[in-house]
Structure 1
């Protein structure tokens, strides 16, 4: 009877262990699924590891197959591809990617019946519709000019240039002539006739001033975006081509259901609604089985701990074998997307295949991590049980040796278990700082940043005599990370008169009509250049837009260098706080030669905004005078030769920050001058001159018309040089 009872006990033990294993196998799959394919962060992590966002610009959009999509545009497709970060800025890519991720996760969670890999192009359409405002104006600097002798010739030349702009072509040359007030009145109606009545009323006064002052490029930059309708036509044609606003990538799960991995995904979709309840039921059954194993072991007179941990080890072994079977039976279904038969452009296919490989690797590693944890937990428990059994036989004189042995075994086991269960940084997504991983561990003062001079004075915001074309947040989209801003109180009639007296007579006559009725009672602080009547932005409102941009781009570090003029530092600090930026501002080191934080530290803390004023300090706050920490080069270069030196202008010698003012000063900012000054080799050569003369590479490279030339490429090259030099 005892032998039969023992046999039944062993059979019951085997059955209970089998039940534990059978419950644990689906639980491992479910736990892995919740940690990976049912978690949106899993996809974001895999995209980062595949460098997918960077490769959109370097591999997907430049693909020749994409040109087919752009071939029907009524503008040169190179105008779009050359400005990809404007048509498709990183924030738009992130939003579009999140849309696809949410579709996949919604399907897997049984919220939808199918997954259609399609892209909503409406955000791109919005960006294309603003392309003219930012770039048709910028292209005006690339042409030549020719002298005309009559108003009729001049008018014909202007109309021809407008025809080119309306067709999406930057004019190759612009007429020049000195217009009298009467001549201006003859030309103005011809130009205004090209726009609607509302636009006519809005631009007439500044257009008159630009024509009168001889700034033909500025006049066309003002009116050009209004006559250019290529962007709207392009959107219309793309919508016809796409049958709406959605680009169908040609891939649906329903089309791939003959593939084993998709079948498995379908099964997950089918059971997702009941997944939580099934998991709870399996966990309860497994717990009951484990309790039964322990009780049965006690009745059989064997170790309860070894009986339970043995079941855990077998569950881990079973899960490992299941992983091998799943790996063989469920290959990556997206590997075919980079073949010639793929419906996707080769560049896009390669990125998706790389992404899927990374995702597959993460899926496998998570599954194996759970398996390893199960095995380690079981083996540790089993080993400790054996250790206790052996130690019971030791006499009292061996107590110290037993303690030492326990510590010797426990410490490495704890390390192994901790590493297995909590892999830490190995599971983290790639961290970027200012769009580059290489910059993260450099201090703030060891990085070069592209800066825009008079960043607020833009043609997009209709400043008269703009220094930039895109608005401030669009400059940030393009890679600008330092903004040189002028803050004023509203200019009074006395200030207006004083300013006009400094101008040449012709320019004064052109601008005077725009300043009539100047009021000094407008409250608050404003971003203006010289006269607020010629262009202004509300200081707090614009900083609020910067805050929103920084929230959308949480790994970017931005610097504001404010020419404070007559505005007290307390008002500037108050404007920063009113815009909701107080929690993002970092305080410079008290010692101007002290240690700055690294970009990684700034990103991690959330304090990614540095705000300087040119003249004032506000003790006890983040607001410090720029020239306590920096020196700069002269800002009044008149000819290209002046941009070849690196003489010190303001600030203290040997400061940790260096601002390279790299623009030509004239009556108004010149696109033509920017074309040469902003050439990548020109910028880089001067920066290297600074390195020789001043012992440091410029921290800030400030330019006019940052969208003309390729100053950003020069700044990227400077950061590579810094990395190679270890600075």
Structure 2
């Protein structure tokens, strides 16, 4: 009763009013700061907004194919030694989705780290090394096609080409016309244009003397003589400078998006301006506001009515008042603002502007949801206090002394504050867990997931195989969506073994002649274990170093499962030693000894760290992780001569197995790049997969293709997994 009387005095009323106002304002501060900390200062908040808007898929499917993007694309590609069409048609090879996701996440971490104070500077610089490396690889592929065309061969002879170019350059440097250059029939205008272009590389004071000779040669279509006339006098400083710039770009090119944002009117000054408040101030304000709220609630309890039930009801009012103020402020903000931080420039393509706007709208909506949910928690806490207080107030018997102690008020205050503070952290959006690039696949069993498979993945144009069946190397294939690799392991063959191996191979007659000429000359025998296609002299990649590279890729992509299907021409013990030497032991998954035992989900495999599955075509152990594929899987035939002959009939492995390998490539005197353009299209892949699944009564697990970067087999595999996830 003494406390109740004291609360009724003038000083008591002043304390009570001050505590009430302080509790209302503190509630507002706690709701706002906790919500911002759980969203604006959380990297997963931004990653989730991008994923929910399917930003990465839209980048490839909408932005990069938008005609309005073409001018910017052409400007960026102007200095590259690869035609624009080659880059844009292989955009996922040049700029793989995983690379884009990683680069974006790095920029998010850099920005949020700067805002929350964990980083002292805002550095948005992007390392373009991986992209430039992919461009360099594409240039090699393109150059190989050009060289093969010039030589009128199915595959390029780089050594011969280099020698011919060197000879031609030496002739030009000496002022002599190189041999073998064709004559061109030029119109008068064309000849004049070529003359101007050639003279531009010569010193200005020598151009008048050279003009007559060049014009005369071009009038006869003699390009070789015209080149020889200007070669000796040509300035080399410009070409040297260009070479230096290109080398510098390829060695360590970077890009700072801050300049692009500034050019579009979106400077980063706002980020710098708010950092003092977000790096230290926000956390400090939240902590102080939470402490003030708790103290004010305790003060209201101490100075409240004698009956404990009414005291609890009194604690509810400031919580409800603070929540109402925040809700009102949010309503006003929604009426007056659009929630955008970045304003799309008029120079941006419509598709890019839409993507930026949609991501911003998504992030704004997520922030709004978090704030309103925190408001609801404050309202719920107030309602709970009011209801409990009402029930206590209805009690007819006097309350015990324990109900009068400040501990009751302190406990109620602590619970209310904790609920408001913790809610944004528990409910704020986080980036979805991804397995094989999709959140929907984490709960799917290994045998239920479709995987793009590279047939003879080691036989690549980049590694200069004769008769290659893929273009980029294995790491680039993985970057482009391949998740299963068909590999052939060999020891280097002896000369006397060449004929037998060639007779059993799928090489063309011309390719076989190339291999026979390479015996003990271009490709002499080498010791060790190799990845080869039928004959190591037709191309070989050292096994252990390649396994190390694959292992490095897997460690950089911890949410992906990779499968090997090995045509094993080396012993199982040699294979086991090679994998151990490559450091792959921690990644190797051991299938159940019973082929009919259910496979784990991708999520379970990823959580265990055992996410590299290795099958052999012949061996079955002794290593428990090295199992015969045809005990666990079945396949279709693989020697199809044309697309219209592709069937689904059983082949090796019979029927009724859990894993289903669809051999989806044409072998007509070797791999057929032209047919790959047909069979690798999205519609063709989907139609055949659906047909084979109906005929064989089991979902396809591996879609094995040649030239995986031709067509859109990767898109078809994604569509298959989306269909299955929707079931």
Band the TM-score falls in, shorter-chain normalisation: 0.7 to 0.9
The residue number in structure 1 matching 2:714 is 712
Question: CA shift at 1:368, angstroms?
Answer: 1.9
**Residues 125 and 257 in structure 2, CA contact (< 8 A), matched pair in contact too:** yes
Question: CA shift at 1:673, angstroms?
Answer: 4.8
Question: CA shift at 1:125, angstroms?
Answer: 3.4
Whether 1:522 and 2:511 are equivalent positions in the alignment is: no
Whether 1:194 and 2:183 are equivalent positions in the alignment is: no
The residue number in structure 1 matching 2:174 is none
The separation in 1 between residues aligned to 2:511 and 2:125, in whole angstroms, is 54
**Residues 446 and 602 in structure 2, CA contact (< 8 A), matched pair in contact too:** yes
The residue number in structure 1 matching 2:453 is 451
How do 1:243-642 and structure 2 match up within 5 A? 245-246=255-256, 250-252=260-262, 266-267=273-274, 269-270=276-277, 272-297=279-304, 304-328=311-335, 330-334=337-341, 336-337=343-344, 342-391=346-395, 393=397, 421=423, 427-436=429-438, 439-491=441-493, 495=497, 499=501, 510-512=514-516, 514-516=518-520, 522-523=527-528, 525-568=529-572, 570-603=573-606, 605-618=608-621, 621-637=624-640, 639-640=641-642
1:358–1:677 distance in 2 versus 1, CA, 3 Å: closer
Residue number among 161, 164, 171 corresponding to 2:150 in the alignment? 161
1:347–1:376 distance in 2 versus 1, CA, 3 Å: same
1:193–1:135 distance in 2 versus 1, CA, 3 Å: closer
For each residue in 1:594-627, what CA deviation from the matched residue of structure 2 results, as whole angstroms up to 9, or x when unmatched? 3233445444555443221222333783332110
**Residues 19 and 286 in structure 1, CA contact (< 8 A), matched pair in contact too:** yes
Q: Which runs of 5+ in 1 are unaligned?
A: 141-157, 163-173, 178-183, 198-228, 396-412
The separation in 2 between residues aligned to 1:272 and 1:176, in whole angstroms, is 61
How do 1:98-109 and structure 2 match up within 5 A? 98-109=105-116
Residue number among 78, 82, 91 corresponding to 2:89 in the alignment? 82
1:643–1:588 distance in 2 versus 1, CA, 3 Å: farther
Question: CA shift at 1:394, angstroms?
Answer: 11
The separation in 1 between residues aligned to 2:30 and 2:683, in whole angstroms, is 60
**Residues 661 and 702 in structure 2, CA contact (< 8 A), matched pair in contact too:** yes
Q: Which runs of 5+ in 2 are unaligned?
A: 169-238, 400-414
Whether 1:61 and 2:64 are equivalent positions in the alignment is: yes
**Residues 297 and 307 in structure 1, CA contact (< 8 A), matched pair in contact too:** yes
How do 1:126-141 and structure 2 match up within 5 A? 126-135=133-142, 137=144
1:632–1:580 distance in 2 versus 1, CA, 3 Å: same
Residue number among 636, 640, 663 corresponding to 1:661 in the alignment? 663
SS at match of 2:304: helix
The separation in 2 between residues aligned to 1:528 and 1:54, in whole angstroms, is 35
The separation in 1 between residues aligned to 2:326 and 2:695, in whole angstroms, is 66
**Residues 35 and 424 in structure 2, CA contact (< 8 A), matched pair in contact too:** no
Question: CA shift at 1:481, angstroms?
Answer: 2.0
The separation in 2 between residues aligned to 1:134 and 1:189, in whole angstroms, is 17
TM-score by length of 2: 0.73
Question: CA shift at 1:284, angstroms?
Answer: 3.6
After superposition, the CA RMSD in angstroms is: 4.6
**Residues 680 and 713 in structure 1, CA contact (< 8 A), matched pair in contact too:** yes
The separation in 2 between residues aligned to 1:291 and 1:356, in whole angstroms, is 41
The separation in 2 between residues aligned to 1:598 and 1:649, in whole angstroms, is 27
Question: CA shift at 1:353, angstroms?
Answer: 0.8
Answer with 554-563 or 594-603: which moved more. 594-603
The residue number in structure 1 matching 2:14 is 11
SS at match of 1:588: coil
For each residue in 1:503-537, what CA deviation from the matched residue of structure 2 results, as whole angstroms up to 9, or x when unmatched? 899866643453429998834x4322334344333
SS at match of 1:251: helix
Whether 1:37 and 2:36 are equivalent positions in the alignment is: no
The separation in 2 between residues aligned to 1:561 and 1:79, in whole angstroms, is 31
1:79–1:646 distance in 2 versus 1, CA, 3 Å: same
The separation in 2 between residues aligned to 1:336 and 1:188, in whole angstroms, is 53
1:577–1:79 distance in 2 versus 1, CA, 3 Å: same
For each residue in 1:194-238, what CA deviation from the matched residue of structure 2 results, as whole angstroms up to 9, or x when unmatched? 2699xxxxxxxxxxxxxxxxxxxxxxxxxxxxxxx9xx9999699
Question: CA shift at 1:361, angstroms?
Answer: 1.2
For each residue in 1:248-304, what CA deviation from the matched residue of structure 2 results, as whole angstroms up to 9, or x when unmatched? 67434995699xxx9799446456344444444444433433333333337898855
1:720–1:384 distance in 2 versus 1, CA, 3 Å: closer
The separation in 2 between residues aligned to 1:372 and 1:589, in whole angstroms, is 50
SS at match of 2:261: strand
**Residues 450 and 482 in structure 1, CA contact (< 8 A), matched pair in contact too:** yes
1:272–1:325 distance in 2 versus 1, CA, 3 Å: farther
**Residues 133 and 470 in structure 1, CA contact (< 8 A), matched pair in contact too:** no
Answer with 386-395 or 464-473: which moved more. 386-395
Whether 1:701 and 2:708 are equivalent positions in the alignment is: no
Question: CA shift at 1:52, angstroms?
Answer: 0.7
**Residues 334 and 352 in structure 1, CA contact (< 8 A), matched pair in contact too:** no
Question: CA shift at 1:90, angstroms?
Answer: 1.4
Question: CA shift at 1:58, angstroms?
Answer: 1.0
1:310–1:676 distance in 2 versus 1, CA, 3 Å: closer
Answer with 16-25 or 71-80: which moved more. 71-80
**Residues 115 and 252 in structure 1, CA contact (< 8 A), matched pair in contact too:** no
**Residues 488 and 567 in structure 1, CA contact (< 8 A), matched pair in contact too:** no
